[in-house]
Homo-oligomer: A and B are copies of this chain.
Amino acid sequence: MADSGGTGAAALRSDAARNRARLLDAARQRLAGGDTTLGLNALARCAGVGVGTAYRHFPDRQSLVEGLATEGLKDLLDAAQQAAGDLDPAVGLERLLRAALSAMAADSVLAEVLSTATPVCAETIGLSRELGVSLEGLLDRARCAGLMRPDVGADDLRRLLVGAHSAAQAGSDPEAARERYLAVLLAGLRHPAAGALASRAALQVADTRS
């Protein structure tokens, strides 16, 4: 039941760790070229390891994607925790959503992981849960301040964000679309009854930035 080491995962043998790193590097290389297939055969050849080794480390495409995205997910969690601590929840929310959209645009595997409801790797599951907790806390504060509609939870927001991301990514000029869709999403999230008051507050907030 109890773990041997301090970390969640059992320590890998040195050659295993090296092979795993090589596979992830090879995957990033192939992603940098246009290959989104991430076939384990091609990956193994590219990494200089046997096919079986690739399958040992990453039983399916999903665990490979999660392995590739953990770093980005950690960064996003940092951003979420920082946003959750922001004085003005509306400012924190806008910063977090913008950061998330930028991160997804820069890192397609992160977008893929965020679009899955239930990850398979233990580490990813943990990070997702923490992310959800931070976000829910932020949303709670925004709701209490009357800044946000009450019928949208953290998981709703995750899905809406992924939706906005793929919408922005679908056309030409994704950066411009991203900013417009973010504006639409933020405006849509505001509490309906808050009306002019909330939007006036939002405008003031916007003035303090840039």
Contact = CB atoms under 8 A, between A and B. Distances in A.
Interface residues of A, number: 33
Most B C-beta atoms less than 10 A away, residue of A180, A184, A195: A184
A29 interface: no
Contact of A164 (B163, B165, B168): B163
A58 interface: no
Nearest to A193: B199
A187 interface: yes
Interface stretch (A44-52, A72-80, A104-112, A151-159): A151-159
How many subunits of this chain does the assembly comprise?
2
A31 interface: no
Contacts of A183: 149, 151, 188, 192
A180 B151 CA distance: 7
A205 to B, nearest CB: 13
Given A164-B163, A167-B159, A188 B184 contact: yes
A151 B178 CA distance: 12
Contact of A160 (B162, B184, B189, B192): B184
26 contacts: A117-B170, A117-B171, A149-B184, A149-B187, A151-B180, A151-B183, A155-B171, A156-B167, A156-B180, A159-B171, A160-B164, A160-B181, A162-B163, A162-B166, A162-B170, A163-B166, A163-B181, A185-B188, A187-B187, A187-B190, A187-B192, A188-B188, A188-B189, A195-B195, A195-B196, A195-B199
